[in-house]
Structures are given as C-alpha cells and as structure tokens.
Structure 1
C-alpha cells in the first residue's frame, strides 16, 4: 500500500540498441518493444489509528512514507526485453519508535512517538526481469530476480512465467511461480531484552533507572527466536478472454506457502491473567507475538471490463482469499475511466474489503498466558474497509516534450483515501511519468 509525485529524473542507460537485421526473404517481424521506456514513479503515504501492534493493540499507528522508484525497459532485440526496477521507501513511524519507548525526551506513552533509531527506516529493492517472445508472438516466457533490504530484514527472490496466446490472440493463459528466501535480524521490545538467555533481568540498568508501578515483580514470557528465516513459495495462473468487441474477462488464482519466522519480533502482547506492570505511562510487555511457523494461502479472483462508448469504460474486480490461520476475505472494486479528450482520462474508483479474524488474534489484554499462539495485530482482526480513489492521466501522443533523448509519453496522478470500521485511516498520493527513447534522434 504507497504513492507520490517525483520532481527529479536521473536516467543512466548505456549501450547501443540496434534493430535486428532481417533477411529480405523473411516476413517482417514487429518488435515487442520499439524503444527503451523509462517509468519514473513516486508516492506519499500517511496513516493513523489507535491500535498499534508494537504496543500490544493500543497506541498510535501514525506513519508516513515516501517511495520513489524507476523502471527501465530495454529492447535487446526484436524478441527480448530486459527490465530493471529500482525502489526506495523511506518511512517515519510513531508506532515502531516505541520498540524502545524510553529513549525520548518525554515520558514513555504508547500514544506518543519516541525519538529513537527505530522511528525511521529505509527499504530498498532492485528487481530485474527478462522476457522472450516467440516469432509469432503467441508464446512469452520470462524470468526475474529480486533483492530487498531494510534494517532488520533481507530478501532474495526469483521466479518466472510462461504465457500462451490462442484463438488469434483473443485468449491468453499465463502460469507463474516465485520463491522468496528472507532473513530476519530480530529486534525485540526494549524491556524484554534483559530477560533473554544470559540476561540480567530486573537488575538491568533500565529497571534501576526507572521505577516499576503496578506489578513490581515483572516477569515476562520471553525467549529469542531460534529460526530467523522466512521462505515463501507461490504458484499462480491467469486466464483472459475477449468475449466481444466491448467485453473482456479474466480469471486469476494464487497458492502461497510460507514457512519460518512468521511472527513479528517487536510486536507486544498483553495477557488478561497477568497483572500489569508500567514504567511511566507505558505498559511493559507480557510477551511478544507468537504465530505458527507455516501458513498456506489461496486466492481466486476475476475481472470484467466493459466498453460502454468512446467516453466510458467499466472495470470490475472481485477476489476471494482464505488461509489456514482462519482468515477469509472478500475484495470488490469498480473503476470507471472517463476519456474527456484525446489526451486526458479521469479515473474515479471504489474498493470494498472485508475479512474475518485470524484464529490467533485477540484485542489488547484479551489473550491468556496459557495459549500457544497469540497476536494483537489488528491487520489480523475482523474488519471492513472502504477505499475511494480518483486519478487523471495525460497522454502525449506525439511525445513533444523531451528530456535529453527521451520523449514524454504519459503522466498519471492518483489519490486514494482508505478507512476501516475502526480508527485506522490512510491517504495515498501517487505520480508516474513514462518516457520513451526517441529513435529519430
């Protein structure tokens, strides 16, 4: 979920691109991608709420994020395309700052941001993909590699897909598979660290510097995670069919298997059968989130696009999701592109989402210490959500505007407002600029 406007474009693309030499006796073959294309994207995202998982289901969820990215697609020859996608996401989070709520200048409080190192982070990702199309353009296969990193997490991924077109390209079937091998560098709530194996418990400097109120015999359930890996394996398909000149449909499905450390190490849990302990206004954790080390997910969905006339198009979407943690969800959305001129199109949209709670979720101070698994992460709770959006797209048909040898092909701007049936709210603004290499220069 992340979007915003970008103001500076830096594109470094080297190497000569030459058209494929063709024998005069052969049939002309249209290139899959005529020229190098560059997409410059950026987003701004902000959220707030009162159910922070870092502080056990209560406290501020305030977060802001700015995420620029650039995608370069290069035609290697008539059949092959290489794409490089680089992303950076820089966030500031009042919620995650309370991993250590005692390093700020004021009193520790779950509804007040701390000022420590955990209040911000940078996520970086690079994805490279290669695709090859057959001579008749009815078969396409692709392969991809990805690397992602942030302070406490590293991910390596790879995968591929195969697409087959039938029925004079009116029918399309795609099969895909991906693997992600991730590694945690676990960060635990600050007050729990002295209770790890070999720690000094209540003799630690934290408890000598601050007085505990409430239950002064603070004795949490805590041990560090032994397994620090998380692996994800996914298989998917998509099927699309042109039904008539005005109607197109598609079906899609995914199966995902996750295993390893699926708990978030810095998310606190409070038990109803344990007396509360506090330092200042902050309740000390009774434990950290504990979730099963496997999760199986299944999602199926469909799209239906209907061309009303030269001005209006209807784009409908529905998806059903279920997993073995007890969550079932329904997503339905409608977008109505409105072409107001040859260059400008408007995109009003609406999205509805509902889900059941995970078997292991309970609100703040509702779990029992005798349970095997527990979380108070409201992303795993029962909720409904509505999202309203509006966008505008500008298409420069003749790519008149240039930066160096790149002509502007399109500009896209979008805004979305997201609201759950709780205190959680989010706003997203995104912008994108597509440039193509001018082959005439």
Structure 2
C-alpha cells in the first residue's frame, strides 16, 4: 500500500473536498508530507441545490534504486493510473451526501522481486476504494458536522474506516474551529519473501496468515482572517497506530548474520549478491506521530496570491521532519489561473533504520526501508485551471429539475497539474547508501455541476 500513497495524494490535491471525506490509503512509514492518514474535511461552500461531480485521474511514474523488498538495494520502479470520481449531492438545503470511488491500476517492479521472478502476480495489482460521507449544517449556529465511512481493497490488504468532523464558524465568518477524527481497521496478508516461507508454503494467498493494524487520527484546525488580504490557519494532527507496522515482504540483510542464504542457486540479477540470509523487517507495533502545521494565504493583488505552508513532524520512531510549501496562483485572465508550486521536505532517520547489510542480528528492531532514512525531497510543478463563470460547456441529461425543466449539466472547470519529485539523502556509510527516488506526476480534475 505504501508505494501508492504519493501518487494518490498528488491526485487528491486536485479534487474538490468531499463532505466528511475519508481516506483509506495509508503508509505507516512515509512522513514526507504524504504519510498521515487523510482526515475528514469540512465541506466547502456550494449552492444549496447544486450537485457537483469531479472526475480525477492521471499518471504517476517513479524510479529508484533502494527497494525495501530487496533489503535496501534494488529497483523502485512503479507506474500507477488512479482514476476516481467524487460526487456531492444536496439532500435538502442543509444536508449533503458525498461519494468518492475509484481504483488504482499499478505495476511495481519491486514487489516482483518477492519471488525472484519476473511477471509474477505481485507485479501488477488493482486497488479499489470507496468512501461515503454525510454532513449537516446548522446555519443559525454556524456549525457543520459530518460522518463518513470507507473501504479499500487489494490483493494483500483490506481496510475499513469511520470518520467524523465538526466545524464552528464565528458570526462574522472570520474565524473557524474544526475538529476531525478517523479510525482505520486494516487487515494485512502476511506475504513473505519466498526463501523465508515455511516449507510447503507456496504462492497461494490461502497459505499465508494475516495480521491487523489500527490507526486513530485526530485533527484540530483553527483558521482566522487576520486582515483583508491575509488569512492563517494552524492545525495539529495526532496519530496513534497499533498492530503490524512493518511490511512482511521487506527483507533486511545483516553484517554479522552467521546463517547462510538458503537459496544459493538463485543466479538472476534481481537480488543483492549477499551470502548470508535475510530476515523479515521488524518494527515496533506502536507508533505515535505529532505533526503541527501553519498555513498562510496572502492576497497580494487582485491577480496574484501567495500560499505558504509549513509542517513540523515528530514521532516515537525518532524521526524529526520539516516541510515547506509555496504556491503562487496568478490570474492570466479572469477565468484562467496558472499556479506554480514548490515543496521542500527534510527528515532525520528513524532509529531502527540502517542501509543494506549494516544492521546487527542483535538489533531488536530493523528496517532498510528508505522511507525511514535521512533524506531531503524537492517537488516542483505547475498547475493550470480554467473556470469560466458560465462554465466551459453545457449538455442535457435525463430527467427534469425542480421547476420541471430539462436538467442541464455544466462542465464548470478544468484543472491540470504536472509535478517532478526528486528525493536525495545522506548516509554515514557510503554514497551508494544515499536515498534516491525520482517521480513524474501528471494529474487532472474535470469539474461538473448539475
């Protein structure tokens, strides 16, 4: 699941927020601004009688040479095509229903190395997900509350979640406090590397055991209009995870393991040439995360905005991280906006991380997953949004509206983004152990209203 998180959230950044939106894709290791569970969002303002539909999609491609499946050395090549549709439907003037459904069609060269063979079933997979939310607004009190639930399923992973959110806006509309909570219940199939399986345990899914993970996420956000041009929001997101936090098919090699490799006849080029045996990644079964973030929006002129974001992250794995992001929307015309953006992330290594063959067999916990390495990452890109007042186009759909007239669907907006992501790292061992990962992301959002 972790390999899908970055492309999914790159796409979700385009989409119109759903009511009591829930997210089911989690990576317990990623903390570079993509790693926290997606929490319920407060509904955005819309016409009371307007149904909105967002069709999002794109293409994600990455390369790297530190795959955790092969113990910190090996391909990280991945491609992903994740289409989704988000629908928000007004039930009456104060309540709305949201539906977010989609799939991910991906090909991963790294998981193809679980069995040391090309084109195995693990090389290609499909993830399907669905999230459903309900919100209700009490206009006289300035409050909105919402509830939601969701499910995500792929070959070795099943996740359910429930969510709730509450927002209170001041009478003058200048201040808002929002609270959101979400709980994930995950079941993971324990697919282990082929040489570490019990005798007679082949590739059949029924031959593996399962384990569970629970994630509890609480977010509090306070936003305020400071001046006519400046808005600010501060938020904290407390995350508690319990259960299986390691990945069962991640190998770890040791510098002092006396046990010999049990599969010395494997002569392909897909695994590191190392004479001693690997073990399965082992991490603590409890993790606590304490991020705090600050967001500033400054309306410099009628044509230019400045959006800034800073996030501080800390957890009990020993990772400390800082994330900075800047976005500069510029109105080329009243209906056409270009928004270049840049994101920088830096983090320290977890105390349980070491590169390939640098762990000791006396270590209690160990991983060579470079999501937990010391690294820095740069993401730069450009987005284009076209949204005329009366829409890009109109077409009739079956049925009639409340006035008995033919229903008309408006093609409201088109949003396209491109981003380049590059991750580099430092190592106390040698240059070959530095984190490296490159990715290109193209995504789009087609906005409709009915």
Q: Give yes or no for the alignment of 1:270 onto 2:261.
A: no
How many Å apart are 1:399 and its aligned residue? Answer: 2.3
| 1:8-62 CA distance string (max 9 Å, x none) | xxxxxxxxxxxxxxxxxxxxxx985331110000021110010000000001100
Q: Give yes or no for the alignment of 1:432 onto 2:445.
A: yes
| 1:373-416 CA distance string (max 9 Å, x none) | 10000000000011101010000211251243311111100011
Listed as ranges, the gaps of 5+ residues in structure 1 are: 6-29, 104-113, 205-223
Which of 2, 7, 14 is matched with 2:7 structurally? 2
How many Å apart are 1:131 and its aligned residue? Answer: 0.5
Which of 237, 248, 251 is matched with 2:231 structurally? 248
Which of 319, 323, 326 is matched with 1:334 structurally? 326
Which of 73, 90, 101 is matched with 2:88 structurally? 73
Give the aligned length.
378
Q: Give yes or no for the alignment of 1:324 onto 2:329.
A: no
3-state SS of paired residue (1:191): helix
For residues 449 and 159 of structure 2, the distance between their equivalents in structure 1, rounded to whole angstroms, comes to: 31
Which of 146, 149, 154 is matched with 1:145 structurally? 149
How many Å apart are 1:334 and its aligned residue? Answer: 0.4
Q: Give yes or no for the alignment of 1:40 onto 2:55.
A: yes
Instruction: Tell me what 2:347 maps to.
Output: 355
Check conservation: 2:250, 2:280, Cα contact below 8 A.
yes
Instruction: Tell me what 2:126 maps to.
Output: 122
For residues 155 and 352 of structure 2, the distance between their equivalents in structure 1, rounded to whole angstroms, comes to: 27
Instruction: Tell me how large the CA RMSD over aligned residues is.
Output: 2.1
Instruction: Tell me what 1:58 maps to.
Output: 73
Check conservation: 1:32, 1:133, Cα contact below 8 A.
no
Instruction: Tell me what 1:303 maps to.
Output: 295
Aligned 1:178-197 pairs, distance under 5 A: 178-193=182-197, 196=198
How many Å apart are 1:423 and its aligned residue? Answer: 2.7
Check conservation: 2:191, 2:208, Cα contact below 8 A.
no
3-state SS of paired residue (2:196): helix
Instruction: Tell me what 2:174 maps to.
Output: 170
| 1:144-172 CA distance string (max 9 Å, x none) | 10100110000000010110001411000
3-state SS of paired residue (2:122): helix
Which of 224, 229, 238 is matched with 2:212 structurally? 229
Greater Cα radius of gyration, structure 1 or 2: 1
For residues 200 and 89 of structure 1, the distance between their equivalents in structure 2, rounded to whole angstroms, comes to: 32
Check conservation: 2:159, 2:187, Cα contact below 8 A.
yes
How many Å apart are 1:136 and its aligned residue? Answer: 2.4
3-state SS of paired residue (1:2): helix
Check conservation: 2:90, 2:97, Cα contact below 8 A.
yes
Listed as ranges, the gaps of 5+ residues in structure 2 are: 1-5, 12-44, 398-407, 425-434
Check conservation: 1:31, 1:79, Cα contact below 8 A.
no
Instruction: Tell me what 1:377 maps to.
Output: 369
How many Å apart are 1:82 and its aligned residue? Answer: 0.2
For residues 88 and 208 of structure 2, the distance between their equivalents in structure 1, rounded to whole angstroms, comes to: 41
For residues 140 and 208 of structure 2, the distance between their equivalents in structure 1, rounded to whole angstroms, comes to: 53
- Cα 1:329–1:265 change in 2 (3 A) is same
For residues 425 and 234 of structure 1, the distance between their equivalents in structure 2, rounded to whole angstroms, comes to: 30
Check conservation: 1:31, 1:78, Cα contact below 8 A.
no
3-state SS of paired residue (2:436): coil
For residues 47 and 413 of structure 2, the distance between their equivalents in structure 1, rounded to whole angstroms, comes to: 19
Instruction: Tell me what 1:291 maps to.
Output: 283
For residues 37 and 136 of structure 1, the distance between their equivalents in structure 2, rounded to whole angstroms, comes to: 25
For residues 42 and 178 of structure 1, the distance between their equivalents in structure 2, rounded to whole angstroms, comes to: 25
